[in-house]
Amino acid sequence: MGLLDSVLGSVLKNTQQPGEGAAAAGGLGGLIGMLASNPQLIQIVTGMLANNGGQGGLGGLVSKFEQAGLGDAINSWIGSGANQPVSGDQITNALGAGTVSDIAARLGVDPADAASQLSQMLPGLINHLTPEGQAPAQGLGNGDDLMGMLGGLLQPR
């Protein structure tokens, strides 16, 4: 997990203000604080978003969300406007109960908790991985590409 550790370490160092925890930093810092508390979650989600992942990459997730009536929500995460929230139940409906149960087992939590974590994390992460306000036609790339993108987002500006 060397690359993951270095990405998370960089994020935490660059998002924390003196006297603040990562979650208190808000925005990307809050997102990374959540991921840092459960690094398995970032591996699972990058696997979902990767072109070579089991969900068909970002395009596959968009299709699943559209089929579940959540196209406006996921498109808001990709677009440049405000991110529409989704509930854990909506995540379960879009991904399927079996997929959420598998994720929950990998995280060591119950399916409702896994769905809740995904509902809190996916909007911000997808938003940060699509900074131009649109999904790249070729997708977000493979898992290593996504880790590189996350590392690039974390560089001090």
Give pLDDT tens digits for 56-81: 788 889 999 999 999 999 999 998 88
Domain count within the chain: 1
Residue 27: inside a domain, yes or no? no
Residue for token digits 């036609």? Answer: 137
Q: What domain range is 75 assigned to?
A: 39-145
Residue 32 lies in a domain: no
Gyration radius from the chain CA atoms = 15
- What pLDDT digit, counting tens, does each position of 130-147 carry? 877 777 766 766 766 666
What pLDDT, on the 0 to 100 scale, is given for residue 20? 35
* 2-50 pLDDT per residue, tens: 444 444 444 443 333 333 333 333 455 666 666 566 678 877 888 888 7
Residue recorded with tokens 């991904």: 95
94 found inside a domain:
yes
CATH number assigned to the domain comprising residue 66? 1.10.10.690
| 21 part of a folded domain | no
Domain assignment of residue 130, yes or no: yes
Q: Tell me what pLDDT residue 121 has.
A: 85
121 lies in some domain:
yes
- The reported pLDDT for the residue numbered 31 is 62
Q: Residue 42 and residue 136: Cα distance in Å, rounded? A: 20
75-109 pLDDT tens trace: 999 988 889 999 999 999 999 999 999 999 999 99
Per-residue model confidence (pLDDT) at position 125: 83
Helices (H), 52-142: 57-67, 71-78, 88-95, 97-107, 111-129
- How much is the pLDDT for 110? 95
First to last CA, the chain: 26
CB 152 within 8 A of CB 141: no
Is 105 inside any structural domain?
Answer: yes
pLDDT, position 58: 85
Q: Tell me if 89 is assigned to some domain.
A: yes
Do 25 and 17 contact (CB within 8 A), yes or no? yes
